[in-house]
Structure 1
Amino acid sequence: MSTIASLTGMQSAAMLLDRTAAQTANFAAAPTDLAEQVANLASATVAINANVVAVHADEDTQQSLIDVIA
């Protein structure tokens, strides 16, 4: 996975977190399914963490390639 794809994934997960937070904050005005909100929060957290690991792996790979070339 490329760094750009990982960053895009993190951005998507952050947008899900923002949307879920807004829906939860407005629960009194527009009731939502709290179980769905919890699932969204868990999914977004897992996605962000997975993409962070992918970015670190990509950085390590790039550094290894630079070390081999040098």
Structure 2
Amino acid sequence: MDNDLPERREAENLSQGELAEAVDVTRQTINAIERDRYDPSLDLAFELASHFDCRIEDIFDPSGNGDEPR
């Protein structure tokens, strides 16, 4: 599943560790999501969307083709 998590995180000048702490997961989890090696649980997707004040669909593209606008 494609995502723009790295761009959103960097726009807020957050490290992976800082974002992980904010949403109560490990840095490794954030890294895995950013590298498309792990799809977050629905709960975590909601936490991330809430943190960035956006919709889940604004962060994640389930089609994985990057065609949806961000």
| TM-score tier (shorter) | under 0.3
More strand by share: 2
TM-score w.r.t. the length of structure 1 is: 0.27
